[in-house]
A and B are shown apart, each in its own frame.
Chain A
Amino acid sequence: DVKVTQSSRYLVKRTGEKVFLECVQDMDHENMFWYRQDPGLGLRLIYFSYDVKMKEKGDIPEGYSVSREKKERFSLILESASTNQTSMYLCASSRQRGYGYTFGSGTRLTVV
């Protein structure tokens, strides 16, 4: 089974802190994605990557950056956390473009 692992299930950070969310997949998938999930809004794409060292902005990239130095790892960075970034963050991977996703269990981030 493909596994997508997110390093933390719950995080509490202070406003202004730099926050790193880590995601690792173990099935050699090319594509990785970061979404946030908020009630009533569904999943919104923050950033995605189709290859190592490649990144593309999704629909809501403001306030975020990403890093993909190795194929299996895709990191989401909040440069200066703000309260409106309190959310559930979901990482996903897929074998090829357009294929279905395998999701991680999510990180519930609270910024106080």
Chain B
Amino acid sequence: GQNIDQPTEMTATEGAIVQINCTYQTSGFNGLFWYQQHAGEAPTFLSYNVLDGLEEKGRFSSFLSRSKGYSYLLLKELQMKDSASYLCAARGNGQNFVFGPGTRLSVLP
């Protein structure tokens, strides 16, 4: 079957670094996406990994290990506006995405 797992909630302090983990099981693998969703708003695209390794984009980085079925999103220099849910989504052979339950991140002053 297909399954995505990520922590439900995390809390971190402004200015800190936080790592949100995601493990996935899909029929085949054709990429992993991370989305950010603020409360009451649409998810917005953050990053995409299809090869092993780290993709860096400003304060946000995403890592993928295909052999371990594992990804993480790393957020540096946390700001209050980073308080949101972070959705991990994997694409299998079927070309559609399977989404995880989302991790709600709270950034405290």
Contacts and interface: CB of A to CB of B under 8 A. Distances in A.
Nearest to A103: B42
27 contacts: A35-B99, A41-B101, A42-B4, A42-B99, A42-B102, A43-B43, A43-B87, A43-B89, A43-B99, A44-B99, A45-B97, A58-B96, A90-B42, A90-B43, A98-B31, A98-B91, A98-B95, A100-B33, A100-B48, A101-B43, A103-B35, A103-B42, A103-B44, A105-B41, A105-B42, A106-B41, A106-B42
Contact of A45 (B96, B100, B101): B96
Contacts of A100: 33, 45, 48
Interface range, A side: 20 to 34
Nearest to A41: B101
Interface of A: 4, 33, 35, 40-45, 48, 58, 90, 97-98, 100-106
A35 B42 CA distance: 12
B27 interface: no
B8 A98 contact: no
A106 B40 CA distance: 8
B79 interface: no
Nearest to A50: B95
Contacts of B42: 4, 90, 103-106
Interface range, B side: 20 to 34
Nearest to B31: A98
B91 to A, nearest CB: 6
B61 interface: no
A101 B95 CA distance: 12
Nearest to B100: A42
B45 A97 contact: no
Interface string B2-17: 0010001000000000
A78 B6 CA distance: 31
Contacts of B33: 100
Contacts of B100: 42
B101 A42 contact: yes
B30 interface: yes
